[in-house]
Structures are given as structure tokens and as C-alpha cells.
Chains A and B, each alone.
Chain A
């Protein structure tokens, strides 16, 4: 059990900031995801925590102890590498036991702990196999066992699922989550897959351009994105330029009703409006704006309906399957408002949002 704290962590390579002034507290025993596009600095951050990189400025603290100057072998962290990095000339047993051998543990204890770790990842019986004899999923689990056997304070996972096929990925994802919760180990997961981050992490930090865009629980990120980047990266959005109107939004001169109450002010301001596909309601109400169904895409779990309307194309997710007679009508259940600079518009009175650990410096309105 350990908290990880990053204080003003900055890494510059040839004057270019790879990560910039990261301030982050990773709570003890939680699964914490660093989510972002490639080149966003998430792997760099993980390597800074693991000690493979030295920051230009700032500190890494684990359990309040400054580990910034420590090399990887002296840190209480353990990393599962993206390519697993199993030693090909050693058997599964030798791979897992090596860290314990270096710690000069008694033989009996070593055997017990390796056995325990291999049992945990479900690989007993493979002790004498070489990495090349194992499948990708099995190699991944050896790498996990190699880290867990050391009982580190912090487990670092670098894109652990990116080399597995889709089906296996879902299974291993659940396994990792299950093991993490059983052991109760503080875990930092790097991923570019928002689905992965949202489904197994307790908390997610969205990173882009070496800066934290937002930190929060998966629900907070999805429901209350702090800026346009987060709104676009986590989930999908229909984007429009428009203005707030009395009971809805004004887009391209059309009034579209919004069922959720909107901030009271801002009436004349130019805004960027984001609408989640599941927040578009299809209605029969002739007072609502009209649209034509141009395409229906079956997505398995749900149906994606593409509407053509005077305000542009609108993507809609519906859970029921049905064909539509033209024309139909639509309105929005809720929408997200952003300033033209991309910052979310937040109402100060919205206590629920503040309670959800919303750390925005979004534009606050009275």
C-alpha cells in the first residue's frame, strides 16, 4: 500500500518538454490509468516513476519518501513492459525467481513465493518452459508474476494489453483488474485505449502534449469533461458551433431543445457545443427540428443512426433496432458547453460536479 506523488515533474529533452509540470497524487491501493494519445507523455511519466528516466525538474514521492534520485533497482516499483521483456535464455521459473535471488532470500521462501506468484497468474506447470514456447497472453502473465513476486509498493503497467488479440485482451484485462484488487497494490496503467482505462481504472488522468488535461473517475471524465480535448478523446461527441438559448441551444439559426437545464447566463456568447450520441433523442414531436436518416450502422450492442439535418450530420446511438420513416425529429437530452478556446463551461452552483473531484479551471459562471 503506497501513494505515489508527482510534484512539478518536468522532463525536457533538447529544450523540448516531453512532460511538463505534472502534479499528481495516485491514491494507495488503486488502479490509476494514464490515458492519452501516443506522444502525449504517458509512457515517459511511467518511466519517470520507475526510475528509468531522471526528471529535469520536480520530484517523485512514494509513501512520502523522495525517490527522484534512486535508480530503478533501488525503487519500490516494478514494471511490466509493453513487450514483456522476458529474458529469453531463462525458463519461466528463472525469470520469476531472479529478483528474489538478487535479494538473497532463503531458498524455501523463494520457492514458496514463486509458486504463489505463478498460481496467482494461473501458470503453474509452466515452470520449465522458455518464453518463446509460450503464447503472448502467457508471456504477459509471466511478466506480471515476475513483478508481483517482489511484492513492490507500486506496480507499473506499460500498455500491457496492446500486443494481445481483441478477445484475449478483454480476458487479460479482467484478470489484471482481479489480481490488482486481490493484492490491493497501487497500480499505474499506461494506455491509449480509453475503453481499457474506463473499464478497469479507479481513476484516470488524461495526458496530452505532456500535460494533464483532467484527473477523475471514469464517470467524471465521461460526464464532465473539463475541456474539448478530454470530451473528444474519452467517448465520442457530435460537435457544433452555436449559442445557448432559453431552453436549448441555437445552432445555425435553429433552436434545438435540451432537456437538461443549462447554465442560466451566457445567452449571447459564441460557444462550442458537444453532444454525446446517446444523448440525442429521436422523437415524433413536430415542434422539434426535422432530420432525415441517411445511414444505419449495426454496432452489435447498439445501433448507430446517422442523421442529416440543417445543422449538419448527427450520430445517434440507440439501443433498440428499428427502421425509420422520413422525416423524423430530434432533441438533445443533455449537452456539453465549451468556450471557443475549448474550456468547459461550468456552473458554480453545480455542487454535484464539485463533489466528484472536478479539478477544472473551466470558465465558471454565476
Chain B
């Protein structure tokens, strides 16, 4: 909103009083400020230590030629690890594979889960609760057991080691995210807003596209991103179903860590991290920014 020109809005009588903080609010604010500042600072320090810290170390390793204990920075630097990783054909191939699987899985998952999320949010039908809980249960237990029994099924249908076999196994890890988060987003859209659209003449599908979806969009976007990343990072199931034909980035990581020096793994890990960072930067405006939060306040 801040980027757009604001229309001039003279204050109305009622509004003016709303803007004036009450004595109680002033008193509370003066107590809260130092406390909230301290908590904020702590959170930022924690964020730096636990999230940025490892990334910095990783980044350093990726350019290190020699780095022996107890030196704080590497003794010698090099680009060669990047060249090795990017030119060795099977590594490049697995990067490509990952970026084919993730969009396919995300799209399929969205097609399956978003309508389900809407149904969970808006309709009550027999078994509704059971469905939601079972989605959760599928992710609550160690997945290896699930994948093993799935492998049996995929084997029966001749899907082991195939493209669609990998897609199916990766879908599993996105289902909960893609259903629960958008479902909450749909549920937070007041029914009256949909009814008002019906009232001015919109058919149900027009209501969905013009009112429900735009308002629920931030939540859906979070679901899509987390789903995309879940697919991108999925290693166990992909390993079990995909080898030897489909070795994606995270699967490759395992072999890399075993067979190459630490530096190559670091380079690979950075490449694996990049999509998350880029995606989060792209949608930062939606998730963190106050644009939607301000626009969506409903009296």
C-alpha cells in the first residue's frame, strides 16, 4: 500500500477518536516496548547463530582449498570445487532432475490437495475429521516403514525405478502441507464475503476466483512453497524408488558426502539451499509484508 498513492481521507468524527490512544494503551506501550525489543533482539541473535551461522561455514567450505584446525579462515581459496560439481555430468544431471520433479510434484499435489483443502474448510462430510487426521498420521511416523510397504505396491504396478513412481513417493511428503495450510487459509475467508459476491450476481466459480482465492492466496502460497521445498529435499523415498535411474540432488548428497571431499558436498549443499532462499525472497512481500495483513483486516 505504501508504494501506491494514498487517496486523501479526511478523518471522520468516529475515526478521530479511534486514532487517539487511551491512557491505558499509552501506559501499556511504555511497559511493553523494552520487553518486546529485548525479545526481538534475542530472536535475531538466535536466528543468526542457528541459521546464518551454518550457512556461512558452508559458504566458506565451498571456496576452501585448504582449511585446517584451528584456523578461523581457510589457508587457501579455490573455485575448483564449483567447476568439479558443475561439470561432472551426473551431478549436473541430478540438479536438472530435481528441478523437473519438484514442479511436477507441486503441480500435481496442488491439483489434488487444494480442492480437498477447500472441501475440508467449507463442507462437513462423513469422515472429514478422519481424513485430516490420517493425513497427519502419514507424516507422524518414520517414513521408511511407509516407503517400504509402498515399494511393494509400486513393484506390483511396475512403477519401481520409473519417473511416476518417484512422483508418487514424493507426493506423500507434500500432502499434509498442501492440505492443512491452504485449508486454514480458506477457512479464514469469512463466508459473508462469499455470500456478498453471490448477492451481486457472481456464480459459485466466479466467487471462488474473484473473492475466495485472492483472500486465501497468502496461505496457499505458503503451502505451495513448502510443498515445492519438501519435494526438492525428499531423499528417502526417492532413493528407495528412483535408483538407479532417477538420482535427484538430495539423493546425490549421500553419495557425495561419502565419495568426495567435504568441499564438493558444501558446494552441492549451497546449490540445494539456493531455491529456498530465492523462493522466500520472491514471496517475502506476501508473507512478511504488511500489505495483505493491512488490506485483510475485517471489521
Taking Cβ atoms with an 8 Å cutoff, the residues of A that contact B are 50, 52, 71-73, 77-79, 81-89, 98-99, 102-103, 125-130, 132-139, 146-147, 150, 163-165, 167-168
Give chain A residues whose Cβ lies under 8 Å from the Cβ of B297. Answer: 88, 132
B12, B200, B296, B298: most-surrounded residue (chain A CB, <10 A): B200
Contact among A82, A87, A126, A139 with B9 in the assembled complex (CB-CB below 8 Å):
A126
Nearest CB in chain B: distance from A243 CB, A: 52
- A191–B299 Cα distance when bound, in Å, is 19
B4, B12, B198: most-surrounded residue (chain A CB, <10 A): B198
Contact assessment for A88 and B215 in the assembled complex, using a CB-CB cutoff below 8 Å: yes
Nearest CB in chain A: distance from B36 CB, A: 24
| Per-residue A-contact encoding for B273-299, CB less than 8 Å = 1, 0 else | 000000000000000000010111111
Contact assessment for B196 and A85 in the assembled complex, using a CB-CB cutoff below 8 Å: yes
- A65–B192 Cα distance when bound, in Å, is 27
Contact assessment for B200 and A165 in the assembled complex, using a CB-CB cutoff below 8 Å: no
Contact assessment for B7 and A150 in the assembled complex, using a CB-CB cutoff below 8 Å: no
Residue of A nearest to B196 (CB): A85
Taking Cβ atoms with an 8 Å cutoff, the residues of B that contact A are 1, 4-9, 11-15, 18, 190, 192-193, 195-203, 206, 210-211, 214-215, 292, 294-299
Give me the 4 closest cross-chain CB pairs, A-B, nearest first: A99-B200, A85-B196, A85-B192, A135-B15
Contact assessment for A128 and B7 in the assembled complex, using a CB-CB cutoff below 8 Å: yes
- A222–B15 Cα distance when bound, in Å, is 36
Give chain A residues whose Cβ lies under 8 Å from the Cβ of B298. Answer: 83, 88
Residue of A nearest to B195 (CB): A52
Contact assessment for A102 and B200 in the assembled complex, using a CB-CB cutoff below 8 Å: yes
- A130–B5 Cα distance when bound, in Å, is 12
- A129–B7 Cα distance when bound, in Å, is 6
Residue of A nearest to B12 (CB): A135
Give chain B residues whose Cβ lies under 8 Å from the Cβ of A130. Answer: 1, 294-295
- A-B pairs with beta carbons under 8 Å apart, 12 shown: A73-B198, A73-B200, A83-B299, A87-B193, A88-B295, A89-B215, A102-B200, A132-B295, A139-B299, A147-B199, A147-B200, A150-B201
Nearest CB in chain B: distance from A85 CB, A: 4
Q: A73 and B201 in contact (CB under 8 A), knowing A88-B296, A89-B296, A98-B210?
A: yes
Contact assessment for B8 and A71 in the assembled complex, using a CB-CB cutoff below 8 Å: no
Give chain A residues whose Cβ lies under 8 Å from the Cβ of B200. Answer: 73, 78, 98-99, 102, 146-147, 150
